[in-house]
Amino acid sequence: MPEPLAADAPVAPAPVSSSALLAELATALEQDAVTGAWAPTALERSLARHLVIGSAGDLQLTAALLRSALWEGSAALAHENGGRFGSLLGLSFTVAESSEPDRAGALTRVRDVMERVHALGPGEV
């Protein structure tokens, strides 16, 4: 039986960094907000406001600030809107504590989403 060619071998996907995944999740959530597929709840808007105000000085989402938002949201955050917002904050916390070189860009992307979510009124997209 002939040896399989290297071109026939399955290609393993390249590993995705947490920062890259975070930026993708932030973009997807924001896109769903624009199209109306996702609308922030009162709790999610409140936590977005907490993050926007808390990072107003240097426009940076720190691990401590994200931890306080996750604590404030507590168990309800894991259930509202399928937990997408909570997942975004949880991964943001992981990235904020990491030393990944592209973390600043990903966290800036999340903060941009928080600005948008914070600005939305009830029922607005």
The answer to whether the CB of 70 falls within 8 A of the CB of 81 is no
* Mean pLDDT, the chain, integer: 84
Instruction: List, for residues 13-23, the tens digit of each pLDDT value.
Output: 667 789 999 99
Confidence at residue 118, expressed as pLDDT on a 0 to 100 scale = 80
For position 3, what pLDDT does the model report?
Answer: 60
What does the pLDDT look like over 92-114, one tens digit per residue? 999 999 999 999 999 999 999 99
Q: Which percentage of the chain shows pLDDT scores above 90?
A: 38
- How many other CB atoms are found less than 10 A from the CB of residue 75? 8
